[in-house]
A and B are shown apart, each in its own frame.
Chain A
Amino acid sequence: MRQWCTYEAAVTKAAESGLWDEETSCHVSSCIHCSDVIHAAEWTRSLAVDPGWPPLRDPDVLWIEARLLSAQMKRDRKMRVFALLEGACIAILSACAATLVLIRGEFGGLSSEILRWMSRLANLGPLTVDLISTASASMLLVILLIAVTFLIHPLLLEE
């Protein structure tokens, strides 16, 4: 059996509209292919008839829900940045605290190693020299990190 018929489009259209011209209806009676088209089309179309289902959901509610979801996604994305920032602050503060413990403790070898690394950093340029050599700048950085962490934390908790 061939897989197509030149009348197929006309038959599909006529079956949909119910308007049959003489030529098409004559053809259908002698073409198995087109008779299958009509049968399949009618049966499939009968499935689209609502058999008494509950009414559709309100499009206005869907619209509002989509807006809310979109806003929530934007906020989530921003919150992710804050969470990362908080994580970074905590990590840096932990590193600072660990360094302090090492310097204050009896771990002379390790602390001198760290100091050596810092002096290498200091050699990179005048700005780093100032930052690293000035204790007040380091303190300021630590305070800033603590402040940022304390500011972000309640924000994340609220979310």
Chain B
Amino acid sequence: MDQAAFKAFYQKTAPRLRAYIARSCGSIDSADDILQEVFLKFLRIQNKMDEHGMRAYLYRTADSLIVDNWRRRQREMAGNLQLPLRGERPGRDMDDDVRILFSQLKPQQRSLLWLAYVEGCDHREIAAAAGVKERSVRVLLFRARKALVGLLQRAGIGPEVA
């Protein structure tokens, strides 16, 4: 991949990937750092992957770095004896309700919903990016959707229950 191709790929994929990371880790500053690390890793290992493969790689790497970031923050907070792990203030950040709702989903559920509805991936691509079997995607996506709709209903922003 040459510089121009990378630039085009970055401009196409980075905004949504960054939004995903920011919504998952709850901080735009952390999201920018993670995004940068994801793309640096991508540039280091890039081989002959097609665009779907590259996108799957980016999301897999981002997921793993989000978990690392979460662990690191927990360690730091435990070290600083700052108790409110969940209600931490993420600095200059996003709407708390949205962030908290999204963070209440399991990491895999967040990833599945995002890949399906934001990236518009099919089940094969979702399986590759989320590291699950293709035939499990339908069930996992169903559970993720139910979890999200349940959360939205409890928050009073879900569809009316019949």
Contacts and interface: CB of A to CB of B under 8 A. Distances in A.
Interface of A: 3-4, 12, 16, 32, 35-37, 39-41, 43-45, 47-51, 53-54, 56-57, 59-60, 62-63, 65-66, 69-70
Contact of B118 (A45, A56, A69): A45
A3 B144 CA distance: 11
B98 interface: yes
A56 B18 contact: yes
Contacts of B72: none
A39 to B, nearest CB: 5
Nearest to B142: A3
Contacts of A62: 10, 36, 39-40, 43
B117 A36 contact: no
Given A44-B148, A69-B40, A54 B16 contact: no
Contacts of B16: 48
B44 A63 contact: no
Interface in B1-24: 3, 6-7, 10-11, 14-16, 18-20, 22-23
A53 to B, nearest CB: 5
Q: What secondary structure prevails in chain B residues at the interface with A?
A: helix
B40 A45 contact: no
Task: Give me the 5 closest cross-chain CB pairs, A-B, nearest first.
Answer: A66-B43, A59-B10, A41-B117, A3-B142, A44-B117
Interface residues of B, number: 44
A66 B116 CA distance: 30
Contact of B142 (A4, A32, A39, A56): A4
28 contacts: A3-B142, A4-B138, A16-B117, A36-B145, A39-B152, A40-B113, A40-B145, A43-B148, A43-B157, A44-B113, A44-B114, A44-B148, A45-B117, A47-B114, A48-B15, A48-B16, A48-B19, A48-B114, A51-B95, A53-B18, A54-B28, A56-B32, A57-B32, A60-B3, A62-B10, A63-B7, A66-B40, A69-B40
Interface string B135-162: 0001100101110110010000111001
A54 B32 CA distance: 10
Which has the most chain B C-beta neighbours within 10 Å: A32, A40, A62?
A: A40
Nearest to A56: B14
Contact of B7 (A32, A36, A40, A60): A60
Nearest to A2: B142
Given A4-B138, A39-B159, A70 B44 contact: yes
Nearest to A8: B138
